[in-house]
Amino acid sequence: MKDAMGTTLTKSEILELENSLYKAIKDSDVNALEKLLHGDLLFVLPDGKVITKEDDLNTYRSGKIRLDELSPAIDNLNIIGDVAVITLTMELKGSFDNAPFEVAYRYIRFWKRFPEGVKVIGGSGSVI
């Protein structure tokens, strides 16, 4: 359903984008991530550090992160006009800088519609 300006998001649209994002993250697909993340993205890492889109993309470009398993479970999805807010739990298994890890995170992510498409504009992750 869209409003008169055609900006309202749908839950099915966001879930499809989330699945595209999970695949891009697991595959370290920088081109796909480039399209899904907004240029002014801000994301708060579990250690409190704030990163930008370029910071995030550079991590994937460097090959420092490798994900063997990525298992998301969506907790909440709210649509507020042209913005979607989603919370989810994600179990990750892989390596960072050749050090293996297995961890569960709780994420919040914000999607917004722009003329060029729907993009992630911000989020945060916490270890649970």
- pLDDT tens readout for residues 58-102: 999 999 999 999 999 999 999 999 999 999 999 999 999 999 999
- In the CATH hierarchy, which top-level class contains the domain 11-127? alpha beta
Is 2 a residue whose pLDDT tops 80? no
| pLDDT for 1 beyond 80 | no
User: Over 90: is that where the pLDDT of 121 sits?
Assistant: yes
- Evaluate if residue 12 carries a pLDDT over 80: yes
Give just the sign of the alpha carbon dihedral 9, 10, 13, 18: positive
Query: In angstroms, what is the C-alpha Rg of the chain?
Result: 15
Residue ranges in the chain assigned as alpha helix (H)? 11-26, 30-36, 53-62
Q: Give CA–CA dist 64/57, Å, rounded.
A: 11
- Each domain of the chain, given as residue ranges in start order, spans 11-127
pLDDT of residue 6: 59
**pLDDT band at residue 52, thresholds of 50, 70 and 90?**
very high
pLDDT for 31: 98
Q: pTM of the entire structure? A: 0.92
